[in-house]
């Protein structure tokens, strides 16, 4: 229902408004050609990682590693307590012990509000300036 209102606002005006509103947070907007990436989260995250030389990538909730293995970054960190990633632990424990900072963080862990909120708050603490956080589900 709300979408009909958004279509009336030109994309250029929306971008200008977002940039003005959030300019103190980030001075870069990633423009994604959605037809080219076919709404694929791996392509979307990869586009963000390419904005950084030697990108430091963190993925919370790797499950079967489909996304984690596909991200073309050396030295990436994947946290999952059960199956995927390269650190077998909960995200809460990971963030308690982590000393590293990251350029791109993808949060796809436990899909309940309280955990997602903690993951976002903890991610903001280790995100470098002009970094990106992506959430799924």
pLDDT digits (tens, 9 = 90+) for 11-64: 555 555 555 555 555 555 556 665 665 557 888 899 899 999 999 999 999 999
Q: Quickly list DSSP for the chain.
A: -THHHHTTS-HHHHHHHHHHHHTTT-S------HHHHTT-HHHHHHHHHTTSTT--EEEE--TTSHHHHHS--TT-EEE-SSSSSSB-S-HHHHHHH----EEEEEE-S--SHHHHHHHHHHHHHHEEEEEEEEE--
111: confidence class by pLDDT, cuts 50, 70, 90: confident
Q: State the pTM of this model.
A: 0.73
């Amino acid at each position: 229902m709300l979408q009909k209102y958004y279509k009336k606002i030109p994309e250029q005006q929306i971008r200008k408004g977002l940039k003005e509103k959030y300019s103190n947070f980030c001075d870069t907007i990633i423009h994604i050609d959605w037809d080219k990436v076919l709404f694929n989260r791996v392509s979307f995250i990869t586009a963000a990682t390419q904005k950084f030389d030697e990108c430091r990538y963190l993925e919370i909730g790797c499950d079967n590693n489909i996304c984690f293995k596909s991200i073309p970054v050396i030295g990436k960190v994947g946290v999952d307590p059960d199956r995927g990633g390269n650190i077998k632990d909960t995200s809460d424990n990971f963030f308690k012990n982590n000393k590293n900072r990251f350029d791109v963080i993808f949060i796809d862990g436990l899909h309940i509000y309280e955990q997602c909120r903690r993951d976002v708050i903890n991610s903001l603490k280790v995100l470098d300036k002009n970094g990106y956080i992506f959430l799924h589900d």
